[in-house]
Structure 1
Amino acid sequence: MPKNKHSKKDDTSDSDSGPDDRGPIAPAKKAKIQSKGSGDNDDNSWDLGKNRFVKLTEFKGKWYVNIREFYNADGELRPGKKGIMLTMEQWHKFKEVVPELEDAIKRNV
């Protein structure tokens, strides 16, 4: 009977994606964000730390809030598979539940 290479206990990732979306590991250095597509503007990007960013992006004429983990490829940060892109409707619903989320965090953390 074959054994699994990884067990749930061995997984140290704080994301729900697998290892296939992790980029190559490079020495730590100041890297610029490089992403394909909609001519990103640094005014519409916010660093959350640990190579995670929130970006306001336009795609096919619609605006989205993109929360994504990036990886370092040859000194440039590239978008990975880990993340979520919210429509404006989803973003507004999310903002509505933030106060309840804050209360739950205060009670539980």
Structure 2
Amino acid sequence: MQVKPKLHPTRPALPAFPPALPSERELEALTGIFSIFADSTRIRIICALGDGELTVGEICAAVGMSQPAVSHQMRILKNARVVKCRRSGRNSCYSLDDDHVAQILNMGVEHVKEAFSNE
């Protein structure tokens, strides 16, 4: 006879975790991705890009930062494959690399909002 675990009445069941630990290489890459999200400046930039492609100048205006500061952060985000760059004449146009980036951020925001709503 198999015993089913009791579920918390107000919480949905958690999604299944991977059956085994990721490899060391995968763990290092995962740590790198999460370190990108550990900086509020980069999160603001990622949020600004959530609405679509922006130039560096548009990102500067959206997040209230100087062009050199934004360019530095964009280099970090691009190297981590969080954003991608497309050249358009003299402008660099940035967008989120894929839907996973938005999903990670959205899940984090949901988690924080849920935590604050329980206070």
Q: Using structure 1 for the length normalisation, give the TM-score.
A: 0.27
TM-score, normalization: structure 2?
0.26
Higher relative contact order (CA 8 A, sep 6+): 1
Bigger strand share? 1
Higher-Rg structure is: 2
* Structure with greater helix share of residues: 2
